[in-house]
Amino acid sequence: MPENHARTPEPRPDGASETPAGQTAGGPVPGPEAPDPAPAESRSAAKAAAKPAGSPVFAWLKEVATVVVIAVVLSFLIKTFLFRAFFIPSESMVNTLDVDDRIFVNLLVPEPFSLSRGDIVVFRDTKGWLPPVEEKADGPFTWVQDGLTFVGLLPDNSEQHLVKRVIGLPGDHVVCCDAGGKLTINGSAVDEPYVNPAEVPQVRNFDVVVPEGKVWVMGDNRNHSADSRAHMDSDGGFIDLDDLEGKAAVIAWPLNRITTLDNYPDVFRNVPAAP
């Protein structure tokens, strides 16, 4: 029988040993023991300890600045595309609007949403209805006020806008007055509950047909409103649709007068369409 002896490996022709690296002929050679990996919690704690603590005041100021920037951007976008604030400088819309009321105007009327009879509108004075405004001396904080107005955080107080109620739309035939002293639109007499009840409106006769692209406007305080009736010598008293800033939607200030503004659809429900 052959003897059971361990075979001594013969040398390879290139002179290298057949014994694997790290292993002797008698078995594996133990290497240095690898250190255990540090737990994840220990590494996180070490990083947190090495990171210098930030100032709580600086963090608070950063948060406040972020909120302010977001508020300004949102206000500017809203003022540009949705709503804009104005203040009422005159008594022409009493009792509906009082002097110094702050209102928000829906900029989506008349485009893309349509205008209706009875809507209260704010429009630019391109017809010269208002007297020239004297230039005011700039104060130390005028730039702040102008900036807040620009971004929409303050109402426009340029005094170059007017606010009235739309009575006649393009094509309407508006007449004052019938035998009963009522305004008629396309031959239909209307009762006007929005007119200031403190005074009986003085009759000022007119008979107009509203051209395309224009509207006929009147103030609710009829005896104290220099509206379309008072400016018939200037483009017939009509206002261009392009001059409309939008439809007054709500009184926002003072707090005791916060309310939405009505366009009294029932008043004009039976008015026929323009011929």
Buried b (16+ CB within 10 A) or exposed e, 170-180: bebbbbbeeee
Amino acid, single-letter form, for residue 140:
P
Distance from C-alpha of 9 to C-alpha of 26, rounded to nearest angstrom: 12
Q: Which helix (H) or strand (E) holds 41?
A: helix 40-50
Cβ atoms of 217 and 200 within 8 Å: the answer is no
| Residue 181: DSSP 8-state | S
Helices (H) and strands (E) in the chain, counts: 3, 14
| N-term to C-term CA, the chain | 129
Work out whether the CA dihedral 31, 33, 35, 37 comes out positive or negative.
positive
Residues 6+ positions from 218 with CB-CB distance below 8 Å: 164, 165, 167, 225, 227, 228, 229
CB 88 within 8 A of CB 163: yes
Cis peptide before 265 (omega within 30 of 0): no
Contact predicate 109/211, CB 8 Å:
no
Question: Of 164, 214, 228, 247, which one is the catalytic site residue?
Answer: 164
Any catalytic annotation for residue 127?
A: no
92 is catalytic: yes
Q: Which of 92, 214, 225, 228 is catalytic?
A: 92
229's tokens = 């009736």
Active centre residues (catalytic)? 92, 164
